[in-house]
Amino acid sequence: MSIKQFLSLEWKQFRRSSFFEKGLVIKILMLLAALYFAGIAIFAGVIVFFILKKTLPEEDPFKIINNFLIYWVIGDLVLRYFLQQLPVLNIKPMLILPIQRNVVIRFLLLKTSFSFFNILPLLFFIPLTIVLIVQGYSPFMVVLWFLSIISISFSINFLNFILNKNNPIFYGVIVFLALISGMQYFGIFDISQYLGVVFYSFYSLGYTLIIPVLLVILLFKANYRMLKKNFYVDGAVLAKKQSFSNYNLEFLNKFGKLSIFLKNDIKMITRNARPKQVLLMSFFFLFYGLIFYTQDTYRDLPIVLAFASIFVTGGFLISFGQLVPSWDSEYYKLMMSQNISYKKYLESKWVLMALACAVSFLLSTPYIYFGWDIFAMIAAGASFNIGLNSFITLYGGALNRVPIELNQKAKAFSNTQGFNPTQLLISLPKLLGPMLIFYIPYKLINFNAGIIALALSGVLGLVFKSYFLNLIEKVYQKTKYKTISAYSEKK
Amino acid sequence: METIIHVQDLSKSYNADKILDIESLEIPKGQSFGLVGNNGAGKTTFFSLFLDLIPPTTGQIESKGVIVNHSEEWKPFTSSFIDESFLIGYLTAEEYFYFIGDLRNTSKAEVDELLSEFEDFFHGEILNQKKYLRDLSKGNQKKAGIVAALIGQPEIVILDEPFANLDPTTQIRLKRIIKDLSAQNQVTVLISSHDLTHITDVCERIVVLDKGKVVKDIKTSEATLKELELYFER
């Protein structure tokens, strides 16, 4: 089987997926977003040299760029970890065909090279390289430097997949990053200076190019081995031993009919890899405020604080809620034909999110340390989350038709991080809404007025709860058939 | 006997292809109704329309007075098992049965009572396994799904290919269960199958679909199996 045949299969899978059934508006918006990011990358690549030259005239801008490259490496790695999809290829049909395994695996890995995350650095570094050459740096050496950087970019690409699949290495890298950033922060050891020298040596010495090139080859080989080991239908299945866990959830019975769904959702979250990941992530959101409340610069920018306050209590709401009803995609037909009223189903999801917000709010009490005004803001944010954000999120869910494989993290050939651009677009009003609700009364009257407005918006949402749920139910009903058919699409 | 299901001018098309086209079909209450036909004849499409999982292009299905794609009122008295997407993989079989029981206002005790009738059907491989449904074999998953479809005293039960993937012992037991349902409890059972022997054994009436159209509507008798075999031999 040739690469060409693989490519044609991939193209067909891509072209025929339900993604293209999305509205024209969304397609255009996504195209614009891609162009926007590409434009920014190119623009930054052209201008960064001149900006540095102007702000720090006595230093070599190229050296400064090299000193900062480590931040790019880390940032890129983090971004990829959360956003980049792992290579997905339906291997089952390939296993019994006369194709060599190495061919399939090699294709799978090379396929990842065409990811947006690999193209973006190119868009930044190519203009930068040209600028450097024009500015009189040795063209040959600059090209060597460029090749090194691109090798590093690809190393990140392959490292990411290992991190996604291998927990010990993942924690190792986390600890390592925490250590160096800690030492950097407390001024014990300025790693970026030393790494800057290494990055600069790709230019000054040239032959150090061999390091990143070897790194790419090494990581490619490591990925290759990892995939080859798992290249069986039961490869991942055998490794995991599913232990059965049970617990008493009777306390939820006071929610009446809703408790049926709540109990089920809790089992769903605790027994499946993907929702567990989301739970962990929403826990991290609790600490989101620390980034903002500790900085004096943001103290005078209450609008940014309002933004942060939404996240402190809204982690679960945002990360779990945006994928309603996909969480039930594996058995959606059952849900649609069983004796379930749509409204009750939606209401149960709402209760779950509201409970999560309430729990997050309780857990956020230590923020009182940063002052009562901060805590009042978090409280107002929680009110907004429960009363309004939850409904907006549910509404957005109606447009979400990406099926989720609940327990997919254990499998080697499926994606662990589903990323849905539609959701990203829907989340914009969710984030901008509270900022506006806070900002207008804050500007017109004062800080307290802003907080009261934000809190009241949530209360208002609760008052109109039934109305909102009816409205959302109608949207879900209308898109029901489309959702069912998208969920039954085989991955 | 009173008619419980009315199908009228029902058709389903994708683009220009008409994959189902039933002018009229009436099913009386308590009948065991069999649907046979080659692949693509429209059996699953018919069931999906019945459960309002896909919208009809024209016409309607009226189930006990409820037009299924206009109101959700058919859900309380209808239950079904079409394929694995009707199972919740991360639950154990018991949890799944109780979940369905909760949805259908059936208490745990009542579910347990029903399950006890199926002990020999389960063959000791479903209950008390401390295993999630997703870790059961295909055949056992199917058994769980079929039994779950009987929880909560439904008046209409839909089973798509219930005999496929089951071992011979279970097939025989399932046949008895289906017969009892329609004979003793007046439950209307709609099943489809590729196995002509099984379906003639079980169903009082057999409808043959071909390319979405009803080509035969037979009241089952001694001669039915022969007639069907002859038809499909063409």
Burial class for A19, CB neighbours closer than 10 Å (0-12, 13-18, 19+): middle
The token duo for B110 is 């009542």
Region A217-231 average pLDDT: 84
ipTM of the complex: 0.87
Q: How crowded is residue A419: how many other Cβ atoms within 10 Å of its Cβ?
A: 12
Residue A4: partners with Cβ closer than 8 Å, 6 or more residues away: none
Region B107-132 average pLDDT: 86
**Distance of residue B216 Cα from the nearest chain A Cα, in angstroms:** 29
Look up the pTM and report it: 0.70
> Of the residues A184, A200, A233, which one is the last residue of a structural domain?
A233
Contacts of residue A340 in chain B, CB cutoff 8 Å? Answer: 75, 103
- pLDDT score for A240: 44
Percent of chain B with pLDDT over 90: 56
In this complex, do B85 and A334 lie within 8 Å of one another by their Cβ atoms?
yes
- pLDDT score for A485: 87
In this complex, do B132 and A272 lie within 8 Å of one another by their Cβ atoms?
no
A216 and A279 in a single domain? The answer is: no
A423 and A340 in a single domain? The answer is: yes
Least confident of A231-235, A424-428, A446-450, A484-488: A231-235
Has residue B206 got a pLDDT over 90?
A: yes
Has residue B119 got a pLDDT over 90?
A: no
- DSSP type of residue B132: B
**Distance of residue B184 Cα from the nearest chain A Cα, in angstroms:** 24
Residue A93 main-chain phi, psi, to 5 deg: -65, -25
**In a domain? residue A242:** no
A52 and A189 in a single domain? The answer is: yes
A208 membership: H or E segment, kind and range: none
A226 and A370 in a single domain? The answer is: no
- pLDDT score for A74: 84
Q: Distances in Å between the alpha carbon of B84 and those of A275, A333, B87? A: 21, 10, 5
**In a domain? residue A63:** yes
In this complex, do B75 and A481 lie within 8 Å of one another by their Cβ atoms?
no
Give the residue on A whose Cα is nearest the Cα of B55: A481
Q: How far apart are CA A271 and CA A162, in angstroms?
A: 24
Contacts of residue B76 in chain A, CB cutoff 8 Å? Answer: 339
Q: How far apart are CA A447 and CA B202, in angstroms?
A: 75
Q: How far apart are CA A338 and CA B76, in angstroms?
A: 8
SS3 B214: strand
**In a domain? residue A95:** yes
Residue A24: partners with Cβ closer than 8 Å, 6 or more residues away: none
Residue B4 binned pLDDT confidence (cut-offs 50, 70, 90): very high
Q: How far apart are CA B200 and CA B208, in angstroms?
A: 12
Contacts of residue B130 in chain A, CB cutoff 8 Å? Answer: 244
Region A201-211 average pLDDT: 86
Range of the domain at A170: 3-233
Residue A491 binned pLDDT confidence (cut-offs 50, 70, 90): very low
Tens digits of residue pLDDT in A61-116: 888 888 888 888 888 888 777 766 666 555 666 667 777 777 777 777 777 777 77
Has residue A414 got a pLDDT over 50?
A: no
Has residue B191 got a pLDDT over 90?
A: yes
Total structural domains within chain A: 2
Q: How far apart are CA B134 and CA A339, in angstroms?
A: 23
Q: What is the mean pLDDT of chain A?
A: 80
The token duo for B111 is 């579910």
**CATH number for position B170:** 3.40.50.300
- pLDDT score for B34: 94
Has residue B192 got a pLDDT over 90?
A: yes
Of A144, A141, A147, A86, the C-alpha closest to A122 is A147
In this complex, do A333 and B54 lie within 8 Å of one another by their Cβ atoms?
no
Residue A341 binned pLDDT confidence (cut-offs 50, 70, 90): confident
Has residue A417 got a pLDDT over 70?
A: no
A203 and A269 in a single domain? The answer is: no
Q: Best of A338, A342, A343 to disrupt the B interface by mutation (most B CBs within 10 Å)?
A: A338
* Nearest beta carbon to residue A338 from set B55, B85, B103: B103
Has residue B8 got a pLDDT over 50?
A: yes
A293 and A371 in a single domain? The answer is: yes
**Distance of residue A351 Cα from the nearest chain B Cα, in angstroms:** 18
Percent of chain A with pLDDT over 70: 85
- pLDDT score for B112: 92
Strand B188-192 with B156-160, pairing: parallel
Q: Are A327 and A402 in contact (CB under 8 A)?
A: no
Q: Does B100 touch chain A (CB under 8 A)?
A: yes
Has residue A119 got a pLDDT over 60?
A: yes
- pLDDT score for A17: 58
In this complex, do B89 and A407 lie within 8 Å of one another by their Cβ atoms?
yes
Strand B58-63 with B17-28, pairing: unpaired
Total structural domains within chain B: 1
Q: How far apart are CA B120 and CA A268, in angstroms?
A: 30
Tens digits of residue pLDDT in B162-184: 998 888 888 998 999 899 888 88
A185 and A316 in a single domain? The answer is: no
Q: Does B128 touch chain A (CB under 8 A)?
A: no
* Nearest beta carbon to residue A406 from set B53, B85, B90: B90
Has residue A247 got a pLDDT over 80?
A: no
* Nearest beta carbon to residue B85 from set A260, A267, A331: A331
Region A337-357 average pLDDT: 89
* Beta carbon pairs, A and B, within 8 Å: 80
> Of the residues A165, A198, A233, which one is the last residue of a structural domain?
A233
A11 and A147 in a single domain? The answer is: yes
- pLDDT score for B48: 92
Of B153, B173, B155, B154, the C-alpha closest to B163 is B173
In this complex, do A330 and B152 lie within 8 Å of one another by their Cβ atoms?
no
Q: Does B53 touch chain A (CB under 8 A)?
A: yes
A219 and A270 in a single domain? The answer is: no
A397 and A446 in a single domain? The answer is: yes
Peptide bond between residue B56 and the one before it cis (omega within 30 degrees of 0): no
Residue A37: partners with Cβ closer than 8 Å, 6 or more residues away: A120
A216 and A292 in a single domain? The answer is: no
Range of the domain at B41: 3-233
Burial class for B100, CB neighbours closer than 10 Å (0-12, 13-18, 19+): buried
Annotate A409-457 with three-state secondary structure: HHCCCCCCCCCCHHHHHHHHHHHHHHHHHHHHHHHHCCHHHHHHHHHHH
A263 and A219 in a single domain? The answer is: no
Contacts of residue B88 in chain A, CB cutoff 8 Å? Answer: 264, 268, 330-331, 334
Tens digits of residue pLDDT in B46-78: 999 999 999 999 999 999 999 998 888 899 999
B56 membership: H or E segment, kind and range: none
**In a domain? residue A272:** yes
